Amino acid sequence: MRSVEWYKDKGRPGVVRMIDQRLLPVEFRLLELEEPEDVARAIRDMAVRGAPAIGATAGFGMALAAHRSQAGGRDGLLRDLEQAAAALLATRPTAVNLTWAVERVLERAADEQDVERVRAVALEEAQSIADEDVAVNRRLGQTGAAIVPEGATILHHCNTGALATVDYGTALGVIRAAHEAGKRIHVLVDETRPRLQGARLTAWELQQAEIPFTLIADNAAGHFMRTGQVEVVLVGADRVAANGDVANKIGTYKLAVVAKENGVPFYPCVPTSTIDLSTPTGDDIPIEERPSEEITGISFLGRQVVPEGARVANPAFDVTPHRYVTGIVTENGIAYPPFATSLRQVMEASFDS
C-alpha cells in the first residue's frame, strides 16, 4: 500500500490514512486521521516522514481541512484553508516539499468561486500530488539506475524509500530500479541516529524487496569508504538550494566530505519538487531542531541512556556544500556542476512535461 492516502469507506467521511512509521518494523499499524490538526501532529511527531511523503500528507491535510470546514461561503472556507496551511507549515521547516504541496492546493482552491468546487479541487490537487510522486519516483529510479555500476556496493543514509515518499522512493528507488534491472548490488545501510530511519525503515524495505544489504553504525561509514568498499553514495534530500547545496538528514555532510576524500561519487536523488530555486544557498535553508529526548535515550522507545540534565543539541538536518556533490539525480535527468545552470534546466523540463 501507499505510505499515505485519502481513504473513504462507504457512508463515512474521507480520512487521511497512513502507515505509522514510528512503530516499524516491530508493528505495522495504520492511522486514520479525521481532523487537519491530527495531520499536522502526525507530521511533527514523525508518524509520517521523508520530504515527499510529508508533502503529500500536507496536501491531504489541506483536503481534509476543506472537507471538515463548517464555513457556509467561499471566503470563509478559504480562510479556514489558510489557517490549516499555517498549522501544517509550522510542523517541519526544512523539507520544501511541504510548502510546495500546501501552496499547490491553496492556489487551486483560490481559483474556484463555489464552496463545493473548492472542496472538490482541494482533494483533486492533493490526489494529483500523491499520484505524481509515484510516477516521478519511477522515472527518477530509471535515470539513477544508470549510474549504479554492476556489482556495486552503495552507501545509503536515512530512509528514502516507499515510506519516505508516497511509494517506490528516491535514492532507494534508484537502488530498487538497479536491482529490478538485474544488477548485482549490495547496500551498506547507515543506522541513522538518532531516530534510526536506516536501521528500522530502510533495512525493513530492503529485506522485503530482497535486495542484499548490511547494516552499519553511522560512525563506520568512513572506514568502509577509506578501505575501498563503497562504489557510490546515494542519499535523498529535504531541500536543494539554487546553487546545488543540499540539506539532508544529519550526518550527510560528513559522508559527502569523506566520499570526496576517497574519490567515491556522491549523488543526492531528488524529485524536482525538492529543488528550491528561491533559496539561494544552503545557508538560507532553515534547519529543524528536534526534541532532546531523541538523543538522551532510545527516546521513542521511552528509555533514557545519558546522565540526567546533560545538555543536548539535536539538529535534524545538515547542509552539504555543492562542491562535494558529484551530481543531483532527478526525474528529468542528472544535474551536474555548475548547478546554478543545470538545476534550472531540470526544473524547466518539469514545466514542459
296 binds ligand MRU (CB under 6 A): no
d(CA 184, CA 115): 54
d(CA 204, CA 197): 10
Size of residue set near ligand MRU by CB under 6 A: 18
49 binds ligand MRU (CB under 6 A): yes
Q: Binding string, 70-109, against ligand MRU, x = CB under 6 A?
A: -------------------------x--------------
57 binds ligand MRU (CB under 6 A): no
* Distance of closest approach, residue 70 Cβ to ligand MRU, in angstroms: 33
Contact 91, 98 (CB under 8 A): yes
Residues annotated as catalytic are 238
d(CA 248, CA 268): 9
* Distance of closest approach, residue 128 Cβ to ligand MRU, in angstroms: 19
130 binds ligand MRU (CB under 6 A): no
Distance of alpha carbon 302 from its chain centroid, rounded? Answer: 25
Among 57, 91, 143, 165, binds ligand MRU (CB under 6 A): 165
176 binds ligand MRU (CB under 6 A): no
51 binds ligand MRU (CB under 6 A): yes
Burial 118-155 (b: 16+ CB within 10 A, else e): bbbbbbebbbebbebbbebbbbbbbbbbebbeeebbbb
Pick the closer one to ligand MRU by CB: 36 or 52: 52
Q: How far is CA 129 from CA 10, 27, 55, 91, 350, in A?
A: 24, 28, 8, 19, 14
143 binds ligand MRU (CB under 6 A): no
d(CA 208, CA 159): 14
Mapped to the 3 state alphabet, what secondary structure does 309-333 carry? CCCCCCECEEEECHHHCCCEEECCE
Among 39, 78, 118, 316, binds ligand MRU (CB under 6 A): 316
Task: List residues binding ligand MRU (CB under 6 A).
Answer: 49-52, 95, 158, 160, 164-165, 170, 197, 235-238, 248-249, 316
